Every structure is written in structure tokens, then in C-alpha cells.
Structure 1
């Protein structure tokens, strides 16, 4: 018998409906309202389905099945416990040093959890309550007679993900090193998406342990290998990990050099990896004072990120914070709707206060917000950009003064802007006049500023610039939509039934969703 069919027939026997002839003979009992009760989704059952998907994907050479299994990690990581995970590792993997190390790490965590959750001692004569019955575990060893290397790496990724979620950084680092070395020991192109996810877990584990710089050479070597093997997923993942590695240590020059010498894979369908790449490029451009280009990259990254309220929230929050600061540096004020998003409103309160200070030109308020939220801005990596906003605050204040007063003394300007002296105000006002920020003149003898008559903004080229910006955005959105369209490879048969055609369209949409790159954006 073919081994593949044997695995497929037995891997997830507990989830399949109506197996064998017995299911056809015995009618299912009717439930109230003629509705079938759907069995609850369990971690063990879902993991069995994922292993079957990986097996079938390798046998049929369908990479989308492997991608679907990787997407299941998002559900599994929220429900897997160390006990069930340990059972699966013992049951599925063969007796190898790889299995022994994974089992040892999981058993160590299980013992520590048992000690922490041990019940208090009972008085003499009182019987201890019976322990809770174990959750049903519908697997036996014969279900996994054939295990491919891809299934080994998948289980290792689950173990590392579990350690990362539990903040066990030392075990996460050890487990990630083990999984990556195991994946590198095989020479199989079918392992490429799993190897890319393993490297992502490796980078995340080292980042949490504060040793991100130690794996920089390994990431560079992995990127070269992925390029030589034409591994698009590996190239995109390793490139993003390298950029994140450089930016974590403020090595913007090295990151810029890497971007100039590499190209992001064009044929990659994972919008998650592309969104992350655009975010890193936007950060680099912002440091290089290319604010317009940086803002475009950041807004595109936000649009391409998953839009679910609980999906990739950390990524969208980080990109939104950076986009707000860059937009302020451009001289624009972010739209109020940016701060009214329910899932981001609370986290953006400090940035909303910065926007209010810049809009009103209140230098005192700006400094107070910076001092009270300095630690937050430092963690977000926006502190050095926010410090550049001081000149924007002064310019905004000068514009308001220029509109409100036809003549005002330099001493009053210094008082309103929070400057130390009238001499400082004189220099700043002179620079603003020279840059075209305000239309005014300075009387140095009498120490006052004389505002000129305000020109009609509609007579200038400002409406043209604003209209051009909006039209360019609409055209760019149209081009992106056209590029994202999918066309059939061959002409549809006119005699094909509508139901079959609709089923094929659903499969195409599902395939496009499965190739989004998994749930790794939740790690951000």
C-alpha cells in the first residue's frame, strides 16, 4: 500500500465525518431542530489536521497546503498547553537527539508549572480530591508511522512559539537554535516556508533575550542561501529580519546600504512580508530626511497590513505612530480619524497630545508632553524624530502670531513662544521670514515685528499641490488594485455548472489568503 494514503487515512480519524461503511449503515441520531452538533475544536485535533496538510502538501507538491498549516499556528498558539504539546512530541517524533532535547525542555517546563500550581497540604483525615481527567487524546502511534522532516520542523516551531509566548527566553533561544540547525541539516526545497518561519522564531527569541546582534551573520548567510535557491519566502523573511536587526541598534547607514544592494521579491504574494518591508524602508527614509517618501511607504504599509481588530495590532500601531510623526515633520497635521480607531485610541494618546502642541504652536505644552512620555517615545523609536519637531512647533506658533497681530514686539513673541530672550526671538523670526514661513519684516531699532498683508492662498499654487497629491494617491490605489487582480489561466468552459465555478472561485480566494505569510505579524 502507498504510505501516503495510509497516513492520510489515519492521521485525523477523530475529525473526519462518516468514516468507512459503518458510518453509512448507521444513521446519525437526530438532534433538536434537525441540526448536527459540531464537535468542539481541540488543539490535538487541529494539530493532527495541520500535520496531515503538510504531508499531503509534500506528496502532491502543493505549497499552499503547507502555508495553510502555518496559518493554523495562530489558533493553536492561543490554546496549546505544555501537556498536550509534550504528548504530541513524544507520539509523533522518532527517537532522535532532536526529540530528546524538545522533550527535555517541555518536561522541565511542565515540572516547574506543577510545582507552582501544587495545591496546599490538606489536614489529616481529609481525602485529596481526584485530579481532573485528562483531555481526550485520540491519537495512537500507528497514526504517525510516516513522519516527514517538515512535520518535525513544524512541531519544533510550535514548541519555540510556546516558549516565546510564555516569556521563557532561554528555552526559546535553545529551542530556536535546535529547530534551525535541524532544518539546515536537510536539503529539501519543500522545507523553505517552514525554514523561513523557524528563522523568524530564532530572531524573535534572540531579540527578547537581548542578543539580537549575535545572529546577524547567520541571517546574512541564510539570505544568501535563499537567494541562490530562488526561495522567495526565505528572501523576503531574511531581508526583513536583517533590516529589523540593523534598526534595533540604530545602524541606519548599514540598513540603507543593504536596501540599495538588494531587491524585495516581486512575485511574492505575502502582503504581510511586503508591509513589514515598507515599514522598515519608511523608518530609514525618515532618518534620511526624506519625509515625503517615508510617509508614502508608511501609509502603504498600514494599508497592506491585516485590517482585523485583533490581527497584527502591534504592527499597525507601530506604523501609525511613525506615520504621525513623519506627517508632522512634513508640516501637515494628521487627520482626527487616525486617533479615533477603537483598538488604537488609547495607545495613541501621547501622540495626539504631541499633535495638539504642534498644531497650536505651544512650545511649553510640547516640552511637557515630551518629558512625561520620553520613555514611551524611546521604546517606540520615535524620540529622535520628535525632537526635530521643536522647530515645527515654533513655526506653527509664528504663523498664528503673524495672523493674529499686525505688529508685535519681539519680547512678546519670546514670551508667547516660550523663548529665553527677545534676541532669540529676533533670530528665529528672521530665519522664518527668510524661509518663507511668514510674511513679515523686523524693525531692529524699535524691536517689533510688522506683519504684511495676508495673500490669498487660492491665488497661490497650494490648491494645485493639494489636488495633485489627492489625484496621485487615487491613481496609485488604482494601479495597486490592477496589479492585485487575478486572471484565469485558460478559458472557462461554457458548459460548466455554476456551482462548480463558484467552488473554484472560493478555492482561489482561499489560496490567496493562505499565502499571506501566516500569523507571524502577531509577534510584532
Structure 2
């Protein structure tokens, strides 16, 4: 039997075994994986814990969590009492009866302690008990200060996510910033990549939700984001960076960041919401830069329904018709405000007018300002004269204005290949392809050496390889 076939058989056997286990037994398996991670100093076991926790998350009960806590915590441990006290209001049976039947552990690993805190956070979050979650998070922050191990990095990052999530849902985004900034400083000093990346994205989100754009920009300028973090966190960071740069009118950099966020977005159902938000922002950035998004973007089955408002706005910009633009704002204004993109769409009014002027300049060699005013539905000839002058100055059209007689005269079209535009576009595409190639090389995992004597160790290594590949495919925003 080949090694690959043995790996497949072992994976299939584990799948059958997991179906027969109860929730408490599955939780015990997770803590066993955490112990392996602590013993072998291999963080990939932690990633497997997160992957296996996702399907059983909806089945978690307070009784299962208390049973697990009773089995892994020593009786004298200081964290055991408040963990059980937090869960007791949700139990169906008496916790003391459970503790009498379960054998307790004599020692507790830091990894197991923080995983138990994370499980309680997830349970309270799913139960929508935000006030109790907020109170429990204060104890989680105190527990985080007790340990400093690199095998805890992924768990610590998740704990900080739920700490911030509770504050966000309670609309208390200011008070948590001090703790997040302290966590960022500590993670930077400890070279904790995951926690540093997670806290940076959480602080940026806090600034964006409160419209503190200058503070968000200062944070980006003064911190270095670790590119080695997981794809889901990197995708969030680039999305927030794209939004900051869009608000500050740096559309070219924002477009690159939005494309990176979409490319690094996990290809799972749980990430569809993030994919929709990133695509909406990217469409607006393209329109603000004068480009028209491809029609295939709006025909994606996953995105088609949510992109209807942006399709209407794109149609108005492409046709240069202010009436269509105004109707789109009236019809889809509430959806655009819900997406926090309404102010960005309002910026497109000038683009609609410029597109209309460009179409007119291509259609007419000579046209009066009065006719331009009628075609573009402007307020008056003076307004039309100002807008046409601005379009000529910005290089939107090649034309001149006769102010005395009141008309615009278009110049002969230049051959685009006599300008530097094709060279700039080719350079942009080459840079994108080189960046994609570099990222692919960095993410590549090379086959292990074939000179190994211990076949059992080789088989375990291959199993870990398969687990990591599966995690990368299933990476989500849980």
C-alpha cells in the first residue's frame, strides 16, 4: 500500500469516527490536539482545532462545555470557578452532578486554558448574550497576560477578535482601543505575528466605524503589517486599507488593495459577505478612476443580486446621463447607505458629467453650450461652460471653448499608441503578474525529503500536510 493511499484511508477512518462521537467527546479530541501542539511546538494542530470546531459550533451546549471544563481543569485552578459560573445560567442539568462523575486533570496547559476561554466566548456570542460576553471578556484579557508562548498565538488572536466583536455590537468602540493598542505593542515585542495582524485590523475597523480616518491613516503609516498572517486577516487589512485610501482620494493605490483583498478572500460560503463588500468597493473605485467594470463582475451568481444598485450606478456613469444617475440614487439610496458607500457614489456625479461631455465631444465636432446644457440636464449655460472648461483642463476631452459665441469645438483625435498610455497599462499588468507569482512562490510547500528512514514519522508528517492543505481550503471568518 502506498503512503498516499494510507493517508487517504486514515482520513476516511477519522471522518467515520467523528460522526459517531458526541459533542463532549469531540471537544475532548480538540483538547488532545491542543496538547499535541504544546508538546511538539507545532501550531498546525491549533489550525486543525479551528477547522474541526466550525461544524460542531452550532451543537455546543453549556452542559458539554462544563463537562469538558470539569475534566481538564484541576479543582484548585482559579479560572475554573468563573468559567463554570458564566455557563451555569444556560445549563439544563446541575453542574455539581456533572463534576462528581468526571475525572479532573492534575495539571493544565496554557493552551488548554485559553482554548476553554475561547469556547465560552464563542458560546456566549452565538447565544447573543452580549453583556455577559463583555463582562467575561475582561477576565479573558487578564488571562492573556499570564502566558507568553508562541503556540498560543492563533488562540490569542481569536480571543481578541471576540473581545472586539462584543464591543462593536454594544456600540462601545472607544473604550476597547486602549486594550487593543496595548495588545498590539505586546504582540510586536513578542514577535507574535497572528495577534499583531489581528489587532491591527481590529483597530483599523474601530477607526473606520467611528469615521476617524486620519487616525486610521496614521496607524497604517506607523505600523508594519505582517504579510505572513493567515489569508483571512490579510484580506481584511487590505480591504480596510483600500477604504482609507479611497476616502483620501488615492484611487490607484486603493484599487490595488481592493484587488488584493478579493484575491486573498477565502473561497468558502462563510466568506461570501466579505467578497460582496470588497467587490462593491472595488467597483466604485474603478468608476472613480474613470474605468467601467466588466459586465461579468455583475453576472456572478454569488454577487449578482447584491450588486444591482452598483449596476444601475455603473450604467449611469457609462451613459453619462444625470437623469439615470439621479433615479439610481433615489431607488437604491437606502442600500448604498447601508453599505456605507453613499458618499462615494455621490462623488461619481462629476464622472457622469465628464463621461457625457466625452461622448458629446466624440459625436459633435462643434456644439453650443446651450445644447450641452440641455443634453446633460445642467442648471444653466454658465454651469455648462465651467464644467466643460474643467473637463478640458483635466484632459478628459480634447477641445476648445469659444466664449464669445458660446460653443465647444472638438479637436482631431490622437492615436492612443503615439502616447505613453499603452506602456503604462502594460507596466501595470506586468507588476500585477509579478506580484501574483511572488505570492504563489511564498505560499508553495515543497515535498519532504525521500531519504527518511522512519516511515511512521513520514506518514504523520504527510497527514499534517494534508490537514494544512484542507485548512487553507476551508479557511473562513469564523
Q: Secondary structure at the match of 1:289?
A: coil
Contact between 1:271 and 1:517, CA under 8 Å: does it hold in 2?
no
The DSSP-based 3-state class of the residue aligned with 2:31 is helix
Aligned to 1:151: 112
Cα deviation 1:224-271 (Å, max 9, x = unaligned): 1111222111111111111111122121211221122211224x2522
Partner residue of 1:508 out of 455, 459, 465: 465
- Select which of 324, 333, 336 maps to 1:374: 333
CA distance in structure 1 between the aligned counterparts of 2:17 and 2:33, rounded to whole angstroms: 25
Q: Displacement, 1:38?
A: 7.7
Of stretches 253-262 and 367-376 in structure 1, the one that deviates more from structure 2 is 367-376
Q: Report the number of matched residues.
A: 461
How far the C-alpha of 1:381 sits from its partner, in A, is 2.9
Select 2:246's aligned residue among 265, 286, 293: 286
Q: Is the 8 A contact 2:74 2:106 kept in 1?
A: no
1:477–1:149 distance in 2 versus 1, CA, 3 Å: closer
Alpha-carbon distance, 1:431 to partner: 1.3
2:124 aligned with 1:163, yes or no? yes
SS in 2 for 1:450: strand
1:263 counterpart SS class: coil
Correspondence for 1:211 among 172, 188, 199: 172
- CA distance change for structure 1 residues 388 and 58 in 2, over 3 Å: closer, same or farther? same
Name 2:6's counterpart in structure 1: none
Residues 364 and 418 in structure 1, CA contact (< 8 A), matched pair in contact too: yes
Once the two structures are overlaid, the 10-residue window that deviates more, 209-218 or 471-480, is 471-480
* Contact 2:74-2:107 at 8 Å conserved across structures: no
Q: Deviations over 1:340-393 (max 9, x none)?
A: 222222112111211111111121222232244334333323233222211111
The answer to whether 1:247 aligns with 2:214 is no
Match of 2:218 in 1: 257
Matches within 5 A, 1:113-512: 141-142=102-103, 144=105, 146-266=107-227, 268-308=228-268, 310-487=269-446, 491-493=449-451, 504-505=461-462, 507-511=464-468
Matched with 1:62 is: 42
**Cα distance change on mapping 1:504 and 1:64 into 2, 3 Å:** closer
Q: Is the 8 A contact 2:44 2:464 kept in 1?
A: no
Task: State how far apart, in whole Å, the 2-side matches of 1:372 and 1:98 are.
Answer: 54
Q: 1:17–1:437: structure 2 CA closer, same or farther, 3 Å change rule?
A: closer
Q: Distance in 2 between matches of 1:159 and 1:230?
A: 27
For the residue of structure 2 that corresponds to 1:142, the secondary structure is coil
Which has the higher relative contact order, 1 or 2, with Cα contacts under 8 A spaced 6 or more apart? 1
Distance across 2 between alignment mates of 1:166 and 1:416: 57
Q: Could you list the per-position Cα deviations for residues 94-124 of structure 1 after superposition, in whole angstroms to 9, with x for gaps in the alignment?
A: 556644444444343468xx9xxxxxxxxxx
For residues 56 and 142 of structure 2, what CA distance do their matches in structure 1 show?
A: 24
Alpha-carbon distance change, 353 to 143 in structure 1, aligned in 2, over 3 angstroms: farther
- In structure 2, distance between residues paired with 1:343 and 1:454: 41
For residue 428 of structure 1, report the CA deviation from its aligned partner: 0.4
CA 151–439 in structure 1, closer or farther in 2 if over 3 Å, else same: same
Query: Equivalents in 1 of 2:106, 2:472: separation in Å?
Result: 29
Judging by fraction of residues, say which structure has more helix: 2
Aligned-residue offset at 1:454:
2.9
In the TM superposition, what is the alpha-carbon distance from 1:338 to its structure 2 partner?
1.6
Whether the 8 Å CA contact 1:269–1:516 is kept in 2: the answer is no
Q: Deviations over 1:432-462 (max 9, x none)?
A: 1122211222232332222233333344433
Query: d(CA) in 1 for partners of 2:458 and 2:87?
Result: 47
Give the 3 Å change call, closer, same or farther, for CA 496–45 of structure 1 in structure 2.
closer
Matched, 1:108 2:89: yes
Which blocks of at least 5 consecutive residues in structure 2 are unaligned?
Answer: 1-11
